[in-house]
């Protein structure tokens, strides 16, 4: 019985209430041209990413000074190996000179240089970026090189070069050893 009285009370309370008027809904007519344009933009975006596999950023960079020492080491790189590397004791397998390059040219060349070095199983590289101390924006390419090298999964360490290799105007780069080179090392050290 209580349910019936609740219902009666509810009806009495709502007796003078009128329902809200709903406005007619807007019908969005997508014309074919809009759909085709969206599809074309989507395809262009996919094509752009396929045409340029370069993942190196080109937006913001933290500026370093012309005489700052660049240094970076991923976990797993042994201290003795890193010390010998930063002292320039390893043979340099390849060299890239970025002098007189724009930032975009340098970005493309650094990407291609590291990719080619990995392809040919090179381990120790040097990049000459310059100090840029007399430029309008000092150490511009040095700052970008510092950022880009950190973005490569295969770069396990880098450090400013020794004076005879260019000092703070150049950087040594150490790449991860390829699986093929790791197997060669295991085979060479296997006890017979």
CATH number 3.30.1370.110 given to 71-184: yes
Distance CA 136, CA 189 (A): 53
CA distance 163 to 155: 22
d(CA 99, CA 87): 23
In 3D space, the residue among 148, 166, 155, 154 whose CA is nearest the CA of residue 69 turns out to be 166
Residue 151: predicted pLDDT: 94
CA dihedral 67, 167, 116, 110 (to 10 degrees): 20
C-alpha to C-alpha distance for 118 and 29, rounded to whole angstroms: 52
Whether this prediction's pTM lies above 0.95 is answered by no
Q: What is the pLDDT along the chain (192 residues), one digit of tens a residue?
A: 556 788 888 888 887 887 777 776 665 555 555 667 777 777 776 665 556 688 888 888 999 999 999 999 999 999 999 999 999 999 999 999 999 999 999 999 999 999 999 999 999 999 999 998 888 889 999 999 999 999 999 999 999 999 999 999 999 999 998 888 888 888 888 865
| Half-sphere CA count of 55, side-chain side, radius 13 A | 7
Signed CA dihedral, 14, 15, 21, 22: sign only: positive
The residue extents of the domains of the chain are 71-184
């Amino acid at each position: 019985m209580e349910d019936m009285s609740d219902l009666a009370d509810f009806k009495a309370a709502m007796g003078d209430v009128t329902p809200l008027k709903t406005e007619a809904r807007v019908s969005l007519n997508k014309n074919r041209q809009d759909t085709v344009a969206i599809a074309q933009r989507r395809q262009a975006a996919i094509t752009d990413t396929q045409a340029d596999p370069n993942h190196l950023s080109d937006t913001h960079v933290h500026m370093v000074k012309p005489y700052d020492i660049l240094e970076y080491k991923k976990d797993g790189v042994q201290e003795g190996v890193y010390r010998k590397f930063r002292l320039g004791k390893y043979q340099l397998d390849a060299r890239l000179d970025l002098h007189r390059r724009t930032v975009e040219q340098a970005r493309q060349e650094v990407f291609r240089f590291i990719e080619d070095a990995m392809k040919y199983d090179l381990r120790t590289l040097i990049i000459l970026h310059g100090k840029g101390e007399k430029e309008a924006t000092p150490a511009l390419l040095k700052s970008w090189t510092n950022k880009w090298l950190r973005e490569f999964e295969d770069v396990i360490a880098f450090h400013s070069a020794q004076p005879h290799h260019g000092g703070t105007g150049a950087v040594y780069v150490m790449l991860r050893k390829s699986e093929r080179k790791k197997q060669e090392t295991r085979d060479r050290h296997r006890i017979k």
